Chain A
């Protein structure tokens, strides 16, 4: 667990005059599942999107695979291959069917043969339980199915780390479970995962570490039991209390 896969140093991000991230330091170790929690607008999603530079950052360093992503000369596309990302709105390629969604990037980026790409795709689609849907139109799946395809698509690039940007927020409560189950399996297989989520139960159960963010800074991080049972920070306590209230209501 000691090998550091991703290291973020003093990351800053501004949207115009609005400071979204105010100097974030975070280390992600190999095989670790880190859940980032916090109120909306606290910068969780932005942090995640900054990790693979979907958002250009303003200052700081992101060390991945021995290279600094902030270095302008670095081959971003090569590094992004190893960072899988799953979006809140799925973002499946609308013009492709399920199988092609999964084979497109391996074939164009890693230049592997179609047969090999399809083999990997079918294997990953089977893992997420969508073996029967490989030729389905990606626009005609349910949200839960779409998100599972998105996970399989990311897995097809054989990433070293997976980023999940509120993967269940666009799903209705009944099918949140099917996506979370896939993620649990993935965690059990030892995948390094960073998950931005509002699913506290998931964070509590699956994660090795919980990071609480508020207004662009990491206020508290640690073992999920510590954070959930005995939060040290006043703001964390407030946030979790409100969350628990909602749950009981």
Chain B
């Protein structure tokens, strides 16, 4: 390109203006040819026709440029279409095209959206279109979906919190190792503790959470039934939510135990050795030195477990927990449309997990004193 060419792709004169501009013009035209709404200001009126004119005019110039290119091939760059005044004019014309296209986007995108939402709100029956139906069902089933979201969030939050507490307990069982200085009873207890934790993790990790949910629910139900309680009384104590929460908690406990164990193993052996060399017992060095560091190591993985719980709590809908999944199923059952409302559910789950990961990132930054990553200056 010549030496006077300055600025970036947008502000520079160059032949690609024709290509880019005509693509935008085609987009604008397709938008304008799409369905219009009563709110549209770009119809067959003057502004609408002007926009179309801009698009068509630019396309015409581009076609001429294309013909020149095909005819002249090598000499294209020095032909009339690629000389200074023409390039400058077409560059400014392309800005006009962009402006018209933005107008078309507002008209056929934003206003269309607003119109769809409004009609869906006022509609008395499920509208035919995919998007209108999504909006209609989410608005009509709003209360159910909101309850569902709230239940899902509670399940994930409480479930992860309870699981964390249980996992702390479980990981201490898991890491017990018989020492030759212990007496036989202590050695036996340590062996039992470690075995128990391993067995628990083996069972929980090896079975699907949906099955666990059903087993826990009916196990609790039968247990209460034996005490002579009526079904109503049982439903009050051992509600779907409570048993669902138990499932999430007990399930996450297994995973978080492994997370914490990894965190403990990631702490340098030297930390324990230093503590032991000062006369601290195994327990003291674990509590005061190793474990705080292990938890810190595990924070990202614990946050990850929370996000997994948001999604995986959906399987609890099989026992009837009124979570987002169950709410979605109910809405779909009422309005006889599935794909639309499940897409809404997917979108809602996506928003929940996305917001959580943003929150976790923020918390992670707050908690993270720059310990790792800054090497000592020795």
- Say whether A171 contacts B274, CB under 8 Å: no
Contact of B276 among A80, A84, A150 (CB under 8 A): A80
Q: Is A26 an interface residue (CB 8 A)?
A: no
Measured CA separation A171–B376 after assembly (Å): 11
Question: Interface segment, A9-17, A36-44, A71-79, A116-124?
Answer: A71-79
Find out whether the CB atom of A109 lies under 8 angstroms from the CB atom of B280.
yes
A94 touches B279 (CB 8 A): no
Within 8 Å by CB of A108, from B271, B280, B377, lies B280
Tell me the chain A residues, 72-111 only, with Cβ under 8 Å from chain B.
72, 76-85, 87, 89-96, 104-105, 108-110
Size class of the contact patch on chain A = 35 or more
Task: Among B180, B284, B374, point to the contact of A56 (Cβ < 8 A).
Answer: B180
Across the interface, do A93 and B275 meet the contact criterion of CB distance under 8 Å? yes
Q: Tell me if A241 counts as interface (CB < 8 A to partner B).
A: no
The 4 closest A-B pairs by CB, nearest first: A143-B378, A81-B279, A105-B278, A91-B270
With A76-B181, A137-B369, A139-B371 as known contacts, state yes or no: A93 contacts B289, CB within 8 Å: yes
Q: Does the CB pair A54–B276 fall under 8 Å?
A: yes
B272 to chain A, nearest CB (A): 9
CB distance from A127 to the nearest CB of B (A): 18
| CB pair B180 A109 closer than 8 Å | no
Q: How far is the CB of A73 from chain B (nearest CB, A)?
A: 8
Out of A52, A79, A172, which one reaches B378, CB within 8 Å? A172
Residue of B nearest to A74 (CB): B181
Assembly CA distance A92 to B278 (angstroms): 12
Assess the B277–A83 pair: CB atoms within 8 A: yes
Chain B residue with minimal CB distance to A55? B273
Residue in A91, A171, A175 whose CB lies within 8 Å of B273: A91
Q: List 26 A-B contacts (CB under 8 A).
A: A54-B276, A54-B277, A72-B180, A72-B181, A80-B277, A85-B274, A89-B270, A91-B268, A94-B271, A95-B292, A104-B288, A104-B289, A108-B288, A109-B280, A109-B284, A110-B279, A137-B369, A139-B371, A139-B374, A140-B374, A146-B376, A146-B378, A154-B278, A157-B278, A170-B378, A172-B378
Other A-B contacts than A80-B278, A104-B278, 9 sampled, CB-CB below 8 A, are A82-B279, A85-B274, A87-B273, A93-B288, A104-B288, A105-B280, A139-B371, A142-B378, A154-B277
What residues of chain B lie closer than 8 Å to A52, measured between beta carbons? 277
Q: Determine the distance from Cα of A134 to Cα of B279 in the docked complex, in whole angstroms.
A: 22
Closest residue of chain B to A172 (Cβ to Cβ) is B378
Q: In the assembled complex, how far is the CB of residue A104 from the closest CB belonging to chain B, in whole angstroms?
A: 6
**Nearest CB in chain B to that of A163: its residue:** B277
| Whole-angstrom CA separation of A170 from B296 in the bound complex | 26
Q: Say which residue of B271, B292, B376 sits within 8 Å of A141 (CB atoms).
A: B376
Q: Establish whether residues A142 and B377, one from each chain, have CB atoms under 8 Å apart when the complex forms.
A: yes
Q: Are B369 and A142 in contact (CB under 8 A)?
A: no
Encode contact with A along B89-102: 1 for CB under 8 Å, 0 otherwise: 00000000000000
| B293 within 8 Å of A (CB atoms) | yes
Q: How far is the CB of B282 from chain A (nearest CB, A)?
A: 9
Nearest CB in chain A to that of B273: its residue: A54
Q: Is the CB of B293 within 8 A of A94?
A: yes
Contacts of B289 in A (CB 8 A): 93, 95-96, 104
Give the residues in chain B near A84, CB-CB below 8 Å: 277-278
Residue of A nearest to B267 (CB): A94
Q: Find out whether the CB atom of A109 lies under 8 angstroms from the CB atom of B279.
A: yes
**Complex Cα–Cα for A153 and B194 (A):** 34
A137 nearest CB neighbor, chain B only: B369
- Give the complex CA separation of A146 and B270 in angstroms: 14
Q: Quick check: A95 and B296 within 8 Å, CB to CB? A: yes
Verify if A31 is at the interface (C-beta below 8 Å from B): no
- Indicate whether A143 sits within 8 Å of B376 (C-beta atoms), given known contacts A54-B277, A109-B279, A153-B278: yes
A90 to B274, CA, bound (A): 9
Which residues of A have CB within 8 Å of B118? none
Residues of A close to B268: CB separation below 8 A: 89, 91
A143 touches B377 (CB 8 A): yes
A142-155, CB under 8 A of B: which get 1 and which 0? 11101000100110
Q: Which residues of chain A are within 8 angstroms of B284 by Cβ–Cβ distance?
A: 108-109
Chain B residues in 8 Å Cβ range of A150 = 274
> Is A142 within 8 A of B275, CB to CB?
no
- Tell me, in angstroms, the Cα distance from A212 to B36 when the chains sit together: 94
Question: Which residue of chain A lies nearest to B287 when distances are taken between CB atoms in the complex?
Answer: A108
**Nearest B residue to A71, CB-CB:** B181
CA distance A175 to B284 in the complex (A): 33
| Chain B minimum-CB-distance residue to A142 | B377
- A59 to B277 CA separation, bound complex (whole angstroms): 21
> Is there a chain A Cβ closer than 8 Å to B281's Cβ?
yes
Chain A residues numbered 167-189 whose CB sits less than 8 Å from any CB in chain B: 170-172, 175
Knowing A81-B279, A109-B280 are in contact, say whether A142-B180 is a contact too (CB < 8 A): no
Q: Please give the distance in Å from B289's CB to the nearest CB on chain A.
A: 5
Contact between chains at A87 and B377 (CB < 8 Å): no
Counting chain A CB atoms within 10 Å of each CB, the highest count among B268, B281, B378 belongs to B378
Partner of A139, one of B270, B276, B292, B376: B376
Q: Name the residue among A72, A91, A144 with the largest chain B CB count within 10 angstroms.
A: A91
Name which of B274, B289, B293 has the most chain A CB atoms within 10 A of its CB: B274
Q: How far is the CB of A141 from chain B (nearest CB, A)?
A: 7
CB distance from A13 to the nearest CB of B (A): 15
Report the bound CA distance from A171 to B377 in whole Å: 10
Task: Kindly state the separation between the CA atoms of A79 and B281 in the bound complex, as whole angstroms.
Answer: 12
Q: Are B293 and A92 in contact (CB under 8 A)?
A: no
Identify which of A72, A109, A170 contacts B278 (C-beta below 8 A): A109
